[in-house]
Amino acid sequence: MPMTIELGVAELAATRFAISPLSETVACLLQIAGLDRNTVNQPWSRWAREELDREPLALSRTWPLLVTGRLSWPEFLVPAPRDSGDSLENDLDALRRTPEAQVRASLDRVFGEKLPHAAAALADDPTAGLREIAEELREAHDRLVAPHWPRIRAALEADVGYRARQLTTGGAERLFADLHPDLRWHSDRVTLAGERWRNRHRAVARGPGGLVLMPVVLGSPYVLIKNNTSTQTTIRYPARGTAALWAAGTRSPGAGTVRLLGRMRAGLLSALSSPATTTDLARAFGVTPSAVSQHLKVLRDSGLVTRERSGRGVLYQTTPLGERLL
């Protein structure tokens, strides 16, 4: 039997997308712990293990809450972003503001009445505990996510842009059906079915307002839904194009492509298998943004790359024609 979320017209109208650096941080720690490991992130996982071998992270307050031996962890670690996201400071501020009663209730749901030491210490003094957890997560983000954040953010923004087009052309039914094979929306209800959820029939206690749909790069291949929350209910799902993100720029364009386009344009075409901004590309190739823009104009006029505005920036990505040329 599936998990279900009642989602009427009013709640559907209030449903939105958001990007969360904190969500990526918690997700990457779970990947490091080997929980719901997503094989498409193996290049990042190898890099992260080498980074942590060089200098381990101190996560004495956070790690015991995530690596619990259970299939769940306290939902307050990833609060729903208040806006479209992309601000670690806002995410951490929302984490620190979790009501004390919600912290204790969440710990009880995960661990039961007999709390382990780290959870018991947090339940005794949630305010101080959340401050310490926020600082640990800030360091984890700076070490493991920030070095890759421009590329991760570009992939997340590209996913949101794609989903917005799905909603525009096919409505909520197409949007939810395309988020993940296990997810559907029909008759004022979102359902999460599939083999993984076979024995987890429950009605989700939806938070206030609509849902917050959050793509995740460094996370599980499964959909994750909050069962209880003091903020909006989040649905975290695997972002499109994650495998291409780590492969981008690692394959050398063929000799024929280089002869046709020139080495610089062929390199840009290869790098744009994962979406990126002009600034990202200029930094990666060690040239000026204006030089990148000139090359991108030629590639775009030739139908080899496409561009799409995302917030205040513009993302470029290789078209199917460009992929065939590569």
Average pLDDT, the chain: 87
Residue 142: per-residue pLDDT: 96
Phi, psi of 315 (to 5 degrees): -100, 135
Q: Averaged over 154-166, what is the pLDDT? A: 86
How many other β-carbons are positioned within 10 Å of the β-carbon of residue 181? 10
Q: Write the pLDDT tens digit of every residue in 227-274.
A: 878 788 899 999 987 877 776 555 567 788 888 888 889 888 888 877
Asked if residue 322 has pLDDT above 90, the reply is: no
- pLDDT for res 146: 92
Q: What is the mean pLDDT of residues 55-77?
A: 91
Stretch 112-123: mean pLDDT, rounded?
91
